[in-house]
Each structure stands twice: as C-alpha cells, then as structure tokens.
A = this chain, B = another copy of it.
Amino acid sequence: MTSTASQKTTKRAHNFNAGPAVMPQPVLEQVQSELLDYGGRGMSVMEMSHRSKEFEDILNRAESDLRTLLDLPDTYSVLFLQGGAHLQFSMLPMNLLPASASADYILTGAWSQVAIREAEKVGRVRIAASTSGSNFDHVPAQADLPLDPNAAYLHFTSNETIHGVEFPIEPQPPAGVPLVCDASSDILSRPIDATKYGLIYAGAQKNLGPAGVTLVIVRNDLLERVPQKLPVMLDYKLMAQNHSLYNTPPTFAIYIVGLVLRWLIGIGGLTEIARRNGAKAKLVYDRIDSSGGFYRGHARPDSRSRMNVTFRLPGEDLEKQFVKQSEAEGFIGLKGHRSVGGLRASLYNALPLESVEALAQFMAEFQRRNG
C-alpha cells in the first residue's frame, strides 16, 4: 500500500479501475483539507457562485495549466463541458460535420464503434479503416489508411480502454482535413504535438479528475463551421465564446481537474508522467511476455496500450479465480470489461508504481500456484 508520513492512517487500495479511476493522493488530501473552507472564504468550492472571482481564478488556472502542459497556442479554445465522451460522439458531428460532407472514422475497438454509431445518427460517416477482423488487437499503420482527402474531419480513438490498444503516434490526415481525437483514456499520459489536432475531447474520469466534466480542446477556425440554432448546451462556439460559463458548469469537478493538472506540472509534466507510465506498463507486459503463454496479452506488441493492459488466462475458470484472489489481496478493478471478458489492468497517471509492482508480484505467484 502507498502511504506517506501524513497519511499513515489511510490504507489505500491498489486501484486498477478503468474509470472512474484512482486519483493522485495529494489531490484528494487537498480537496479534503479545503472541503468546508476554501482559502479562508468560509465556503466549499461547491458552494461558490460560478461567477465569483474565486471560481473564475480556479477556471483560469486550470485552463492555463492545461495550456502549459500541452504547449497549447492561443489558436485553440479550451472547454469544460458535461456529458462525457458519449455526448461528444454526438456534439462533434452536430458542430463540425456539414450535411454536404462525410467524416472519416478509424475503427479500432468498442469506443470508436460507439463514436461511429452516434455520428451516423447525425451525418454521413465513412469507416476509413477497421481492425474488427482481428478482434481489435491492433491499430492500423499509416500505410493502411486509405483516407478521404475531402473528409470533414478524421476521427480516431487514441486509446481503446476496453480492447487495450493504443496508437503509438497519431495518424496523419490528408492536408486540410482536421484530426479529431477521443483521448478520454490516455490524455496527458505523454507529450503530444497538440498543433497536429483540430479537436481533442476527453471525459475526465481516467486521467483528469472525477466523472462529470468533459474536456474539449478545439482549434478556433473550426468554430466557424458551427451551425446556427444548435441547442445551447451542444454548441461549441457558444461555449467557447462564454469561456465555459454560458450556464453553470460542474464547478467542483473542474476545481479537482485543476488540482490534478497542478499535480502533473509539479511532478515534472508530460515527459515525467510518460516515463512513469512507460515503466508501469513495462512491468505488466514483461510479466505477460515471460509467462510462457500462461498470460496472453490481447493487443499486438506494436499496439499495446500503456493505460489498459488486457490479457487472458488459460480458461475462464482460472480468470475468475484470478479476479477473486486478487480482490482478496486488495487489488481492485482487474476484471475485464463485461463485453470482452478476461482481465484488464488500468494503469492511469495517478496509479502509483508500488501498486503495479504488487500486481506483477501477484501475477507471478498466481502463475506459480496455477501454472
């Protein structure tokens, strides 16, 4: 268990949840300490007006820290919305897919599948490439992407939480086609060149904070496409013009996201978190690779997710035993998603190395007992 001098009394679980997921302990401690009295104001952040100076500062600092982490230029807007990636699946084509055009989607797993299904309710969608034939065990190489040079945008899911595959680097769209990314489950897990993107969206509940706030980063020129008379809550342009304060945003969730961003800067930013995430993922994949086939990773090595390690055991009975025994030993959330089965270890930014070391040790012992 991780513990610090100030937290001797709090025994923390080894939390491998796929989302909502583990949070940085220093962030939780700060939320706790300020819960009834933020900065001597005699109020919790959740009791403050979203139009107060205090909350405005919280919002501005969160945006500013995000811009620092991503080296994001002023030509992009940062929006804090609601409804998770699921609502973005609809908002994206409502805002950026004109009736006269078609959008390209790369199908690499369960989440891009849902993104496509929802977009098809709104407009014309073309599946540019699909890895469903190999049960979503990899992402396509750039050479295998026959892209539409006239597409309204090219959409990809940078990390497939359920299948455990991740793009090692973003696909390259044809010239002039904006790149759109659902980065819900690997945002801020490594450095990216944000200027390659037209729009990035992410539900907060993996790497950013609590469920209930959704981050959207959008290049400002794309806002000119937004049609008139969209419902206000579904209108990127209106939200950008109002700095996410057109109506009451999820203030407390945004405050916590702000603390997570501040924590990330404090530990050394995206370069350092990428190093840590790489080390954690290597521990689990090395265990799989050295198991002589007892553990079988789902993803092809070239497409392995550093965030969600998906693997199988020889037989479902053994998988059930693995889940049961791991829970008895204090590991949370290792059961695979109900739609694909098997095991899944989610290793998000806030998961301490110690938890992953404990898991690798548990995997070795489990194999010794059952191999």
A 22-42 contacts with B by CB, 8 A: 22-23, 25, 28-29, 31-32, 35-37, 41-42
Bound-state CA distance A104–B245 (Å) is 29
A137 to chain B, nearest CB (A): 25
**Bound Cα distance A20, B229 (Å):** 27
Given known contacts A84-B247, A233-B90, is B252 in contact with A212 (CB within 8 Å)?
yes
A83-B83 contact, Cβ under 8 Å, with A20-B50, A32-B32 = yes
Chain B residue contacts of A89, Cβ below 8 A: 231-232
Given contacts A13-B42, A43-B332, contact A25 B18 (CB under 8 A): no
Is the CB of A121 closer than 8 A to any CB of chain B?
yes
Using known A-B contacts A10-B36, A213-B212, A332-B43, determine if residue A233 contacts B86 with beta carbons closer than 8 Å.
yes
User: Which residues of B sit under 8 angstroms from A134, Cβ to Cβ?
Assistant: none
Tell whether A205 pairs with B248 under 8 Å between CB atoms, given A17-B48, A32-B32: yes
Number of copies: 2
Residues of B close to A84: CB separation below 8 A: 82, 233, 247-248
Inter-chain contact B87/A231, CB cutoff 8 Å:
yes
List chain B residues, Cβ under 8 A from A47.
Answer: 15, 17, 20-23
**Which residues does chain B contribute within 8 Å of A21, judged by CB atoms?**
47
A191 within 8 A of B: no
Q: Determine which residue in A29, A35, A122, A248 has the highest number of CB atoms from chain B within 10 A of its CB, and name it.
A: A248
Contact between B29 and A25, CB atoms less than 8 A apart: no
Q: How many residues of A contact B (CB 8 A)?
A: 66
How far does the alpha carbon of A31 sit from the alpha carbon of B35 in the complex, in Å? 8
- Which residue of chain B lies nearest to A122 when distances are taken between CB atoms in the complex? B231
- B contact residues around A253 at 8 Å (CB): 212, 250, 252-253
Question: Nearest 6 CB-CB pairs, A to B?
Answer: A212-B250, A13-B42, A90-B231, A46-B210, A32-B35, A82-B82
16 new A-B pairs (CB below 8 Å) besides A11-B42, A50-B211, A252-B253? Answer: A10-B36, A19-B49, A25-B36, A31-B35, A42-B332, A82-B84, A83-B87, A86-B233, A89-B232, A90-B231, A90-B233, A90-B234, A121-B229, A121-B231, A210-B250, A250-B250
- Can you identify 6 A-B contacts, CB atoms within 8 angstroms? A10-B36, A28-B44, A35-B35, A82-B250, A118-B231, A210-B251
